[in-house]
Chain A
Amino acid sequence: MSRKELISKVGLRLDGRRADELRRIRCKLGVFSEPDGSAYIEQGLTKVLAAVYGPHQVRGNRLKAQADAVIINCQFSMAVFSTSERKKRPRGDRKSTELSLHLRQALIAAIEVEKYPWSQIDVYVEVLHADGGIFPACVNAATLALIDAGIPIKEYVCACTASIANNNQAMVDISHEEEILGGPTLTIVALPMSEKIVLMEMSQRFHLDHLKSVLEKALEGCKNTKNILDQAVQNHIVDVGASTGWASTGEKVKR
């Protein structure tokens, strides 16, 4: 399958991770003031900005408004400088349209859509640096932005990729290098607390026997991502709370 050993004999990958290790995730909520919610996430070198506007009145065609659910409108866009080769257009191509639809599907599963009938929520993601796992980073950034906007969600919605190395070893969070060298990539979007899978996409064929182990790895990756995001949200709340004064009245919150 893969021409090169993606996991060395001692069990290390090309960038020095082990098979079940995620790349470093760093994130920040509330990066911008204009949108209702915004977030920035770095997963390894992949960098994504997300902004959420709404819920607000339906823009454009009012007939689209739904009586029982909010309209989720997503746009995926990649900055022209995000890849090593300069891109011609930031959006509008087939791949970004597809990713916009996927993102929408992922978010509908998490947002409590019935809370806001006749309204609309806009979610925009902008990739600043693409280094593998773009879509998972976008989903995670969008989740954080939704939380920052204060939109009720059922639970965190997280995404992760997994692949198979050396023909039988599953590995998690695939970098761009591994994407090119390696075999198939499985992307899943999951609700990690209830262990439900919202969206699953496979880039190439692989044997059904491997699917279980790869899927488990990806799901585990989602759970780990969720824990990291949750910690970031809690830290953010402490920061915001402390600046408005509530933290000073009680016991000092440990970070």
Chain B
Amino acid sequence: MTLSEAEKTFILHGVQENFRIDGRNRDDYRPMELETSIITHAFGSARLRLANTDVVVTVKVEIDVPFPDRPLEGKMEFFIDCSANATPDFEGRGGENLATEISNTLTAAYSSNSVFDYTKLCILKGRKCWKIYVDILILECGGNLYDAISIAVKAALWNTSIPLVKSVTIDGNNVDMNVSENLSDCIKLDISAAPLMVTLCKIGDHCVVDPTSAEEQCSQGAIVVAISKGKFSTVFQTGGGSLHPLTLMEKLKLGAKVGNRLEEALSEALSKIKENGEMGFLN
């Protein structure tokens, strides 16, 4: 989508008046739909639809060897697949740059133990741990990918159940594990501190949250902040353009405020999710 000069001006004036093209305020989100457990092959999954941005996140766990420098911690890896269904630009290897950018940001946001407790994933010190694969599939891009992905990742992790390891025995170099055969015996991950990302898009003199793809085109640069329990776990600037330090501080404050609001909304939504409801792409 390319916008003409007049369309851009229209969007800019709307932002100045605090009345955006779809009628929202500057700090409002578009409606979201969240579903969990939609992929049966996975240990946990979620699908988030934010207006016309659509992402599916699945979580799979495998047994791996911990990093030598962190023998007590498990691992987590993010993989983004930009499906060509989202836009023809992603065909072939077209989406790879975006995918790397997003996965690096997510890795940074989730890197700290105070954000996500990796020690819970340890099975046997230095020998065995769980590795969490978080696979993100982008099905449609309607702007604000970062926020949508972070919400979906958090919901998918919330949905994840890791098999319960009952006992570990060491026999020479072999490690034998006894995994509980009861399917309902599983560990739920603690995601209370998992970060949510908020994109703050600078349009004219103001910042907007949850930009549509049209608004993203008018922006002179955006800041993505990852908020975990009121604290920043990562901050980075994306897009062209430069920002004044004062604007930056203002943006960060707004980001923290919006992030907390989003956090509350998400935990409320997750508490309302019903098991075995009708879901998926058919509805």
| Interface residue ranges, A against B (CB under 8 Å) | 26-28, 31-35, 38, 40, 42, 45, 47, 49-51, 53, 59, 73, 75, 77, 79-84, 86, 90, 92, 122, 124, 126, 128-129
Contact = CB atoms under 8 A, between A and B. Distances in A.
Given A81-B60, A122-B91, A126-B85, A32 B42 contact: no
Contact of B81 (A27, A33, A90): A90
B81 A75 contact: no
Contacts of A73: 91
Nearest to B281: A40
B270 interface: no
B85 A33 contact: no
B62 A86 contact: yes
A203 B268 CA distance: 50
Contacts of B92: 75, 92
Given A40-B282, A49-B281, A122 B81 contact: no
A39 B196 CA distance: 31
Given A47-B280, A129-B41, 17 more contacts: A26-B282, A27-B282, A28-B282, A31-B281, A32-B54, A34-B86, A34-B87, A40-B281, A42-B282, A73-B91, A80-B135, A82-B41, A86-B133, A92-B92, A124-B84, A126-B137, A129-B40
A45 B40 CA distance: 9
Interface of B: 39-42, 45, 52, 54, 56, 58, 60, 62, 79, 81, 83-88, 91-93, 133, 135, 137, 139-142, 280-282
Contacts of A80: 79, 81, 135, 137
20 contacts: A27-B282, A32-B52, A32-B54, A33-B52, A34-B52, A34-B140, A40-B281, A47-B280, A51-B85, A75-B84, A75-B92, A77-B81, A79-B137, A81-B135, A86-B62, A92-B93, A122-B84, A124-B88, A128-B56, A128-B137
A42 B279 CA distance: 13
A59 B91 CA distance: 11
Contact of B41 (A28, A38, A84, A90): A84
A81 B42 CA distance: 7
Contacts of A33: 52, 140, 142
A128 B84 CA distance: 14
A24 to B, nearest CB: 12
A124 B141 CA distance: 15
Contacts, number: 91
B41 A83 contact: yes
A11 B95 CA distance: 49
Contact of A49 (B62, B85, B133): B85
Contacts of B41: 81-84, 129
Given A32-B85, A59-B88, A124-B85, A86 B142 contact: no
A95 B131 CA distance: 28
Contacts of A90: 81, 83
A126 B91 CA distance: 12
A225 B122 CA distance: 49
B60 A86 contact: yes
B135 to A, nearest CB: 5
Nearest to A34: B140
A136 B182 CA distance: 36
Nearest to A28: B282
B39 A129 contact: yes
B282 A126 contact: no
B209 to A, nearest CB: 21
A26 B278 CA distance: 14
Contacts of B84: 51, 75, 77, 122, 124, 126
- Sorted nearest first, the 4 A-B pairs with minimum C-beta distance are A51-B85, A124-B84, A81-B58, A40-B281
A126 B140 CA distance: 12
